[in-house]
Amino acid sequence: MTLAASDRPDPAAFRRPRLTRSAEGKTALAPAPLEDTAGNAAQRSLLDRRAGRLAINVLAVVAGILIWGLFTTEGMVGLPTPLEVGRQAVVQAKNGLLWSDAAASLARVSSGFLLGIAVAIPIGFLMGWYRLARAVIEPYVQFFRTIPPLAIIPLAIVTLGIEETPKIFVIFLSSFLSSVVATYQGVVNVDKTLINAARVLGAGDFTIFRRVVVPASLPYIMVGVRIGLGSSWATVVAAELIAAQSGLGFRMQQAQLYYDLPTIFVSLISIGVLGLLMDRVVLAIDGFLTAWQEKL
């Protein structure tokens, strides 16, 4: 069927907006194209969803603090009130203890965590891509996964001393074991149809690895990175048992000796806040690297 000239869509409706001049000499914008209008609507929808999630997050935190204050003020739970914890946080912030402890723990976690994922990702790719490497490395990885990183502390003290090295090593081991398995699973779970299609099109192994395997494995890798980050913060308290003189874990252990619950809570909340901020950074990187992936 052939459309009459009057029924055909006007191509001008799909062009970009341009300046037009009326008979009176006034300048105005031409009607916006349909594609730009749809893009702006999608962007506004995305911003609205993010604002809605942020509002829910804030409300959830406020509700949690209110519930905590209600139970502790009424004496139902033998814990410090939010006001007492806030006062202690102000005191530690003024005398500099809070900042020095947070900086020490953050430096240890960052060092061990970054070293762990820097080693885990290449090894995970090797295990997933080469069967020989998998056969050689996997037994060691599975063996050390069954040993808690905290159990390595006595060995680390004896072999590495009591300086920063054993603390960072224990955190490194924790993040490494979490990330290497996720990377390995990401490689072995790549859709074989994609690899075969690339081979049919004449791609070599290196091109397939770079253009197919790595992008398809990124969602798994980023999950492993997030798990490794959580494991690093979970390990730092025990790692600071190794003759530490500063750090949030060290401060908690000192407060335990004097039954100083507000100080313990300040350190706990500080660890949670720092871990949450680092997790949000990892999520932002994940969103950038896996922008092609459809997500809820």
pLDDT confidence of residue 8:
52
| Chain segment 241-265, per-residue pLDDT in tens | 777 788 898 898 888 888 889 999 9
pLDDT confidence of residue 180:
93
- Percentage above 70 pLDDT, the chain: 81
Helix axes 97-129, 248-257, angle to 10 degrees: 130
| Chain segment 100-154, per-residue pLDDT in tens | 999 999 999 999 999 999 999 999 999 988 889 899 999 999 898 888 877 888 8
153-to-10, 115, 147, 230 alpha-carbon distances in Å? 74, 18, 11, 19
| Helix H or strand E encompassing 111 | helix 97-129
pLDDT confidence of residue 37:
63
Which residue, among 107, 117, 65, 37, has the nearest Cα to 249 in the 3D structure?
107
Model's pTM, two decimal places? 0.77
Q: pLDDT below 50 — which residues of the chain?
A: 1-3, 12-17, 19, 22-23, 27-30, 32, 34
Please tell me the total number of residues recorded for the chain in this structure: 296
pLDDT confidence of residue 33:
52
pLDDT confidence of residue 89:
93
